[in-house]
Amino acid sequence: MILDHLKSQLEGFKAQGLYRHRRVVEKAHGMGAFSDGHPVVNFCANDYLGLSGHPKVVQALMHGAEIYGVGSGASHLVTGHGPAHHALEEELADFCGRERALLFSTGYMANLGVIASFLGRGDWVLADRLNHASLVDGVLLSHAQLKRYHHADVAELKTLLDRCPPKGKMIITDGVFSMDGDLAPLPELVKLAEKAKAWLMVDDAHGFGVVGSTGRGVVEHFGLDVAAVPLLVGTLGKAFGTFGAFVAGDYDVIEYLIHRCRPYIYTTALPPAIAEATRASLRLVINETWRRDKLRTLIERFRSGASQLGLQLLPSTTPIQPIMIGDNYRVTQASQRLQELGFLVAAIRPPTVPEGTARLRVTLSAIHEEQDVDRLLEGLGNAVI
Ligand SMILES: Cc1ncc(COP(=O)(O)O)c(C=O)c1O
């Protein structure tokens, strides 16, 4: 019975152009890769600063494994919390200008955990419709009421806040929207949160390392006081090039999570060697400012070339530069054609993005070269138009 149901669901996905195929992607030098055996330049990773293969990061990982072994062996509250984790938490807190930071195994778990720890039945969450799935799932787990406003629609958010019961309320937003690349209207959200006495949580998974003059994310970009965003989540598998995530906040916010956050408490701590690798990558994020400068140049070059080709871009200033296609079949064909031409660009379809907004999610990295971008534009001209 259940198997028949699954089979017919899978057939349905095929009929709607929503069937997913996992490519086997083997990393090569720089942003080079083999995708299902085809040599390609990867234009859809989140390795925005090109740190995942940096020799210092790789060296730190190997050294960490030599000292600490591979697995942490237990959860943080039992015996899994070691000196590498502790040092990284202190360095991340310092980087974000917060009292403390708490490491999580993934960004997905951090979002589930934070929301479900601080909210419960009867509380309200006001959330942007384009928030990442992990933020939506966190609200479901918390049993709070989910009220979604249209993307970046501050006026609608205000109306919802006016209707909100006086109990717990939290505004939750991506800092940089993962499939659109634009920034949340954070200054307006901060004002509304302060006026309504609501908590504000920002998931800056795609902002850390990239956005803001020193890579400290959207809070820095908008010149906001850290107190304006009491709950800040960052992930380490994107610009940092490693793995894991963190929550940064005041002393008691973190202390409460250590006591109550189930996705923090009931899971094995991150391998300590990953924490060592991330410490090395954090130093590079801070010191190698040329990576952000180069990214900005590549982003401008890509946007100007894509507009000349008449491709439909979104208003994004970040390394996430989607090309809107709309139709699920067309986007899959374009992605396949690009692979044949030597470019890896993922087709993003519903339910990851709203119906009718399928897109090629182009991402840029500081270790792409200008010629790579020019060749990609040529490929897009061929595959999309
Ligand atoms: C905005 C956002 N938050 C959270 C996550 C989840 O982070 P992780 O991959 O570390 O689970 C992602 C993507 O993976 C994301 O795009």
Q: If you search the block for the tokens 């997913």, which residue do you land on?
A: 20
Mutate to test the pocket of ligand 1, among 48, 104, 108, 112 (most ligand atoms within 8 A of CB): 108
Question: Taking 80 as the threshold, does the pLDDT of residue 104 lie above it?
Answer: yes
Q: What confidence score (pLDDT) does residue 43 get?
A: 98
Tell the CATH topology of 55-287. Aspartate Aminotransferase; domain 2 (3.40.640)
Q: Most distant CA pair in the chain: distance in Å?
A: 58
Q: What is the pLDDT of residue 1?
A: 86
How far is the C-alpha of 364 from the C-alpha of 31, rounded, in Å? Answer: 10
Using DSSP's 3-state secondary structure scheme, residue 45 falls into coil
Q: Assign 73 a pLDDT band (cuts: 50, 70, 90).
A: very high
CATH 3.90.1150.10 placement within the chain = 18-49+289-384
**Mean pLDDT confidence for 213-242:** 97
The one-letter amino acid code at 110 reads: A
Number of Cβ within 10 Å of residue 39's Cβ equals 12
DSSP characters for 176-187? B-TTT-PBP-HH
CB 82 within 8 A of CB 62: no
What's the mean pLDDT when you consider all of the chain? 97
CB neighbour burial string for 86-119, b if at least 16 within 10 angstroms, e if fewer: eebbebbbebbebebbbbbbbbbbbbbbbbbbbb
The domain covering 18-49+289-384 belongs, at the CATH homologous superfamily level, to Aspartate Aminotransferase, domain 1 (3.90.1150.10)
Minimal-distance CA residue to ligand 1 atom 10: 107
The pLDDT score that the predictor gives to residue 167 is 80
User: What whole-number distance in Å separates Cα of residue 32 and Cα of residue 19?
Assistant: 26
Tell me the CA distances in angstroms from 110 to 101, 113, 243, one per residue in order. Answer: 12, 5, 13
Residues 6+ apart with CB under 8 A from 128: 148, 149, 151, 152, 172, 173, 174, 177, 184
Task: Place 137 in a pLDDT band, splitting at 50, 70 and 90.
Answer: very high
- Residue spans in the chain of domains classed CATH 3.40.640.10: 55-287
pLDDT band, very low/low/confident/very high, at 342 (cuts 50, 70, 90): very high
Active site residue 213: no
Pocket of ligand 1 (CB under 6 A): 106-108, 111, 132, 134, 174, 178, 203, 205-206, 235, 237, 245
Query: What single string gives the DSSP state of each residue in 148-172?
Result: EESTT-HHHHHHHHHHS-SS-EEEE
pTM of the model: 0.96
For residue 385, pLDDT over 80 is answered with: no
Residue holding tokens 């809107």? Answer: 324
